[in-house]
Structure 1
Amino acid sequence: MNKRYRDFIIRSWETGDRDAVIQLIASVLAEYGLGCEPEGADIDIFKVEEYYHDRGGEFWVVESDRTIVGTAAYYPVKRGKNAVEIRKMYLVPEVRGLGLGKFLLAELEAAIQNRGFSEIWIETASVLKEAVQLYERRGYEAATGVETLRCDRVYKKELVSL
């Protein structure tokens, strides 16, 4: 994966990105009053290879001037039918409001659909208002069965066959 959006580069995660990714996600969570959970909801960012690469998913980082300013990822899940879960879509405050989140979500959806998956699931927290609005505008429907303690919302979107 290597794409551009405006002055941003979206590329596949590399081992050297781990510390910057952990810092970015912990910072965004703290901004919304949520804690980073290294042994719980966020264990996947400490073990990207195991949770994403080994499971057939992808983890992307967004760079601006060689600094990581965002993340986006997905991996296959057992719930649903031939499904994935989009995870770790985070942007630092300085790059929000530029259409980057909408672009990332569309790119994730295209990659997921191209790989033949049928459903996308997303769990989030109500305090992440911008994320909730983005998912709802992109056609994600409220579902039940939140599995992550930090989250209080779950959404599902069925993909149309190519």
Structure 2
Amino acid sequence: MNIQYRDFLIRSWQKGDRSTAAEIIGSVLADYGLSWEPLGADRDVLEVEQCYQGVGGEFWVIEQAGKLIGTAAYYPISRGEKAVEIRKMYLLPEARGQGLGKFLLQQLERTIAAHHFDQIWIETASVLKEAVQLYETSGYQPTTGVKTARCDCVYVKFLKL
């Protein structure tokens, strides 16, 4: 899978991306005062094969000029009906403010819909103000049931009514 957006390349994760993807996520979390949790909420980044590819999900990385600058992923979940959770949508500061986050979310939604899922769930932290604004302006509705300790917001979007 390769998708171009301006000078960014969105592509499927490869084994060689593991440590850089983890560094990106850890860096963005630190920028917002959140901690990297390799044994908890971020274990999935270190085990992409089992946590995403092995269960019908996908993990993407975003490149700019050959350098990884972001990540995005989803996997099926038991919460809801025919549901997935979007996870690990992180962009380094130099990739923000160019419409990439919105484009990335739209591409995730298209891919998820093409795989016949009906609901998308997202957990996030309110300190990630740009992410919260993106989700709220993209049709995600606040709901309850946060399952990740560092998150305090959960959203859902229904693809089929």
Taking structure 1 as the reference length, the TM-score comes to 0.98
SS of the aligned residue for 1:117 comes to coil
SS in 2 for 1:75: strand
C-alpha distance in 2 between matches for 1:62 and 1:75? 18
Identity over aligned pairs, percent: 62
Aligned to 2:67: 67
- Match of residue 38 from structure 1: 38
Alignment-mate amino acid for residue 107 of structure 1: Q
Q: Deviations for 1:21-59, whole angstroms, at most 9, x for unmatched residues?
A: 000000000000000000110000000000000010000
How many residue pairs get matched? 161
In 2, the alpha carbon distance for the partners of 1:36 and 1:80 equals 27
Unaligned runs of 5+ in 1: none
2:64 aligned with 1:78: no
Residue 155 of structure 1: SS of its match in structure 2? strand
The DSSP-based 3-state class of the residue aligned with 1:87 is strand
Q: Following superposition of structure 1 onto structure 2, how do residues 6-155 of structure 1 map, counting pairs within 5 Å?
A: 6-155=6-155
- Counterparts of 2:6 and 2:35, CA distance in 1: 31
Unaligned runs of 5+ in 2: none
**Structure 1 residue 160, shift from structure 2 partner:** 2.4
Compute the TM-score of the two structures, normalised by the length of structure 2. 0.99
Q: Give the partner amino acid of 1:23.
A: E
Distance 1:149 1:138 in 2: 24
Aligned structure 1 segments of 4 or more residues deviating by more than 2 angstroms: none
Partner SS, residue 55 of structure 2: coil
Query: What letter is aligned with 2:154?
Result: V
